[in-house]
Amino acid sequence: MNNNYEPMAQFKRLAISETGFVFDPQTGYSYLVNNTGVEILNCLKKELSEKEIIEHITKNYDVEEDQVERDYESFILRLKDYGLYKEELKENGVEKQKTKEK
Amino acid sequence: MVSKSKKQKRSSWKDNLVIAVTGLATGENPQPGVPIIRSIRNAGFEGKIIGLVYDPLEAGIYGPNLADEVYEMPYPSEGPESIIARLEHIRKHTKIDVLIPTLDSEILPYVTLEKKLKTYGINMYLPTREQFMMRDKTKLDKLNEMFNIPTPHMILISEVKQVYEIPNKMNLPVMVKGRFYEAYKAYTVDEIIKYFNKICTDWGLPIIIQKFLPGDEYNIAAIGDGKGGIIGAVPQKKTLITEKGKGFAAVVVKDPALDEFAKHVIKSLKWRGPLELEILKAHNDNNYYLLEMNPRLPAWVRLAEGAGQNLPMALVKLALGKKVPPMPPYKVGQMFIRHNEDIIVPVSTVGELTSTSELHNIRITPVNQRIDSLLNN
């Protein structure tokens, strides 16, 4: 039996409530994130780029761009820790899951 | 104008049905009987339900809107003949159309009796003896050899002196398991010996030593159709676990790989009847491993009903030979949170069951509870 089933696109599968309760239907784990975390996750689900996400947060919240960049990096690191953030790379036309290297 | 026939309640195949269910203990280590009865009642079943119990203090006997009658049964270890003798006595009071054994130790005796009970009009939906033996915990690694179902490495021991050889065969910690019940994580040889003696006293030999794999555990309640197909299956992850390792809260999850794993197991064994799969997703390789396959529905089976699959009611229909199509997809994100409640009952009722081994007309429904309240005030 093939037990190496490809996982679903990590954060795309998350159910995110406005209150910051985040449920991973694949693993059963749940998480709490703040308002900015909800914004970033929703932007990631919409497949916005890092630049677009930082611009979006800076535009909608009273915060400096440098601070948003730092918060974004920190949030992404946390998502990686939980196995929720992996970058999809295409090699020879085949989509592969690979953790984004810093 | 509403015609007379429409005013009358339609009679259903369920109306005169009598269903017997075992395992009504609740509390810290709940048995599946009470949730199975609740799911059957929630499907609209108003007929008679009989509780088959081993102890007058099984709390489900006295729970509201559950059993109508209760009979004490001989322990499964007393053999199929004792069960038959008791059922013959019960048949003098009431018929039984469907019987649902819910405890691991009961399944084999009832599998043995399935044909005999059929002649009494008592129907069950159980695995064959061969299927039952294939999932025996002491033979779990054979499933890996026969069907390529991944299982953790295990060895069987029957003597304490064998414990000292374990560190040469697998890394500590290990899981120390009984054939029917109980499992402990042991970090040292001394701990293995302690659990060996404890399990041996309660459940006998052999003792199973299973490689401990760090990972996340998932459970699946399901019913197999006996041809390799699945009538229904609901996977969950425990989110609150007691000291004894019992789930007191769990959430329905959805992972296509987990669903495929369950399908592969049920298809390989051509499992007929209810089951619970205990599956581990190992952290080191992200693969699923079968830890246990229990031949009955689990105590958390109401979560399946909450997720849209009433497995106990499907089991009743299957036992009666009715065709049950595959159930609708389960709702992901449904949770159960277990709670214990004190049931108030006159000591004389418990005494009656203790002295006569049976109770009749005990079902408390919201209606007769209200009448009782009016009469006493």
**Exposed, middle or buried, A98 (CB in 10 Å: 0-12/13-18/19+)?**
exposed
Q: Does B237 touch chain A (CB under 8 A)?
A: yes
Q: Note whether residue B370 is domain-resident.
A: yes
As for how many domains chain A has, the answer is: 1
Q: Note whether residue B5 is domain-resident.
A: no
Do B304 and B294 lie in a common domain? yes
pLDDT in tens, B324-366: 999 999 999 999 999 988 999 999 999 999 999 999 999 977 6
> Per-residue pLDDT averaged across B6-23, rounded?
79
Do B182 and B230 lie in a common domain? no
Nearest CB to B264: which of A1, A7, A30?
Answer: A1
Quote the CA–CA distance of B70 and B33 in Å, as a whole number: 12
The better pLDDT of the pair A81, B38 is held by B38
Q: Note whether residue B3 is domain-resident.
A: no
pLDDT in tens, B180-199: 888 999 999 999 999 999 99
Residue B221, helix vs strand vs coil:
strand
Q: How confident is the model at residue B12 (pLDDT cuts 50, 70, 90)?
A: confident
Q: Does A89 touch chain B (CB under 8 A)?
A: no
ipTM reported for the complex, 2 dp? 0.80
Q: Note whether residue B2 is domain-resident.
A: no
- Chain A positions in Cβ-Cβ contact with residue B255 (cut-off 8 Å): 8, 25-27
Residue B298, helix vs strand vs coil:
coil
pLDDT in tens, A26-50: 999 999 999 999 999 999 989 899 9
> Per-residue pLDDT averaged across B256-271, rounded?
97
Do B279 and B304 lie in a common domain? yes
Q: Does A1 touch chain B (CB under 8 A)?
A: yes
Q: Note whether residue B15 is domain-resident.
A: yes
Q: How confident is the model at residue B104 (pLDDT cuts 50, 70, 90)?
A: very high
Average pLDDT over chain B, rounded to an integer: 93
Q: Which residues contact A73 (CB under 8 A, 6 or more apart)?
A: none
DSSP H/E element including B95 = none
Instruction: List the one residue out of B238, B220, B329, B326 whose CA is nearest residue B277.
Output: B220
Q: What is the CATH number of the domain that holds A60?
A: 1.10.10
Do B103 and B189 lie in a common domain? no
Q: Note whether residue A41 is domain-resident.
A: yes
Q: Note whether residue B240 is domain-resident.
A: yes
CB contact under 8 A, A5 and B254: no
> Per-residue pLDDT averaged across B49-72, rounded?
96
Q: Which residues contact A19 (CB under 8 A, 6 or more apart)?
A: none
Do B99 and B81 lie in a common domain? yes
pLDDT above 60: residue A97: no
CB contact under 8 A, A3 and B261: yes
Q: Does B241 touch chain A (CB under 8 A)?
A: no
Interface of A with B in 15-54 (CB under 8 A): 15, 23, 25-30
Quote the CA–CA distance of B36 and B102 in Å, as a whole number: 9
> Per-residue pLDDT averaged across B285-314, rounded?
97
- Chain A positions in Cβ-Cβ contact with residue B148 (cut-off 8 Å): 1
Do B327 and B226 lie in a common domain? yes
CB contact under 8 A, B255 and A3: no
> Per-residue pLDDT averaged across A3-15, rounded?
64
Q: Note whether residue B70 is domain-resident.
A: yes
Q: Which range marks the domain in which residue A31 is found?
A: 11-98
As for how many domains chain B has, the answer is: 3
Q: Note whether residue A83 is domain-resident.
A: yes
Q: What is the tally of helices (H) and strands (E) in chain B?
A: 13, 15
pLDDT in tens, B136-172: 999 999 999 999 999 999 999 999 999 999 999 999 9
Could you tell me how many residues make up chain B? Answer: 377
pLDDT above 60: residue B214: yes
Q: Note whether residue A26 is domain-resident.
A: yes
Long-range contact list for B38-42, CB < 8 A, 24+ apart? B38/B66, B38/B302, B38/B305, B39/B301, B39/B302, B39/B304, B39/B305, B39/B310, B39/B311, B39/B312, B39/B313, B40/B312, B40/B313, B40/B316, B41/B65, B41/B66, B42/B305, B42/B310
Query: What is the pLDDT, as a whole number, of residue A83?
Result: 86
> Per-residue pLDDT averaged across B298-313, rounded?
98
Q: What is the CATH number of the domain that holds B291?
A: 3.30.470.20
Query: What is the pLDDT, as a whole number, of residue A92?
Result: 45
Q: How confident is the model at residue A99 (pLDDT cuts 50, 70, 90)?
A: very low
Contact A14, A41 (CB under 8 A): yes
CA dihedral angle for residue A50, residue A6, residue B217, residue B208, rounded to 10 degrees: -150
Q: Which range marks the domain in which residue B302 is found?
A: 131-135+213-337
Do B275 and B354 lie in a common domain? no
Sign of CA dihedral B12, B16, B20, B26: positive
Do B207 and B310 lie in a common domain? no
Q: Note whether residue B143 is domain-resident.
A: no
CB contact under 8 A, B236 and A26: no
CB contact under 8 A, B251 and A15: no
* B211: β partners: B174
